Structure 1
Amino acid sequence: MKSYRDLIVWQKSMNLVTLVYSLTSEFPENEKFGLTSQIKRSAISIPSNIVEGYGRNYRKDYSRFLQMARGSLFECQTQIEIAVNLSFISIDNCKEINELSIEVEKMLNSLINKLSKN
């Protein structure tokens, strides 16, 4: 592997960020500095932590940053569910983002487990 850009989990998490930005563009204007901002920050944190960990020289550091990425992913999933509960978006409108976030979650779990076994 030559670059973090080769990591499928990073690529998919970048796609997740794009979907989050698209989804939150439909939120009410008065949520611009509230839930909208929070969801965007948690989504951006996922690929950011993946690459920061990748850039570290130690497996333990990499695993720790992957765990932080997973935490940000859980935060993003929860905030999207809150947005559904508040009727900012419908369940149908976030189907793709939910499916992708579950896929990223599984990939992060797998990578974390792999690093902890070595």
Structure 2
Amino acid sequence: MTIKPSKNPYGYKELLVYKKAEVLQSETVKLTGQFPTRKTTLALADQMNRSARSTKQNIVEGWKRNSTKEYYEFLGFAVASNAELEEDCLDIWKGFYPELMEIKGIMGERGEKVEDIDKIPFYPLDFSLPLAVQCRLRCKELNFLLEKLQKSLVSKMSAERTLPLHERQKISENKEREFDKWLDEEIINQGFVKLSDGRIVRKEQ
């Protein structure tokens, strides 16, 4: 296990991923604050607020851990919590919670279809969109940043030869897939075909 070098214990506050997580938590609280005080929606609000908080707190805890491996693992917890929140936002938009359907502050005019939401870019964020959609887009942006940070830690652990076994296996499998893809393309480019039994023969003119 490689120990992380001593650094500013509050350095995480300078990370873009932390700043985005902080905003996401704040905006989630604003969103859920508009939910009606019914058992179902109160439970949903509590879960969404917990997911948003967990995302941010795991970034903080990972930063303060002693090893790069632990930091990486806690970012994984943050990714999972963020995914829960994103899915809740999508469930709201799909109409799983009828109590929220008529609240314009949350749903807007519902001009967008569910399939169209996936096509909306998360950056720059369109503040004219309904809050439920904005929340999901913030989650997508945060997921992008978390994965980017995780990849940088994988590279660091790989260079330090401290990469966990399952991550080394994942990298090896990705390289094999890339090689197989390159080989298939090269076979075609050279005028050959690969048969179902694995044999490679020249393509008939």
Q: TM-score, normalised by structure 1?
A: 0.91
1:74 to 56, 78, 83: 83
1:29 to 31, 37, 42: 37
Rounded Cα–Cα distance in structure 2 between residues aligned with 1:115 and 1:13 = 19
| Identity within the alignment, % | 29
Rounded Cα–Cα distance in structure 1 between residues aligned with 2:27 and 2:21 = 10
Q: Does residue 1:59 correspond to 2:53, yes or no?
A: no
Deviates more, 1:47-56 or 1:86-95: 86-95
Q: What is the CA-CA distance between 1:117 and the residue it aligns to?
A: 1.6
Deviates more, 1:80-89 or 1:65-74: 80-89
The residue that corresponds to 2:48 in the other structure is 39
Greater than 4 Å deviation, 4+ residue runs: none
1:71-113 CA distances to partner (integer Å, 9 max, x unpaired)?
Answer: 0000001111222222424162323222221111100000111
The residue that corresponds to 1:110 in the other structure is 148
Q: Matched residue of 2:131: which SS? A: helix
Rounded Cα–Cα distance in structure 1 between residues aligned with 2:142 and 2:131 = 19
Q: Which has the higher contact order (CA 8 A, sep 6+)?
A: 1
User: CA RMSD for the aligned pairs?
Assistant: 1.5
Rounded Cα–Cα distance in structure 2 between residues aligned with 1:98 and 1:76 = 8
Rounded Cα–Cα distance in structure 2 between residues aligned with 1:83 and 1:97 = 11
1:99 to 134, 137, 157: 137
Computing the radius of gyration from Cα coordinates, the structure with the larger value is 2
2:22 to 11, 14, 21: 14
Structure 1 unaligned segments of length 5 or more: list them: none
Structure 2 unaligned segments of length 5 or more: list them: 1-6, 101-105, 111-129, 157-205
Q: Matched residue of 2:49: which SS? A: helix
**How many residue pairs are counted as aligned between the two chains?**
117
Rounded Cα–Cα distance in structure 2 between residues aligned with 1:72 and 1:104 = 11
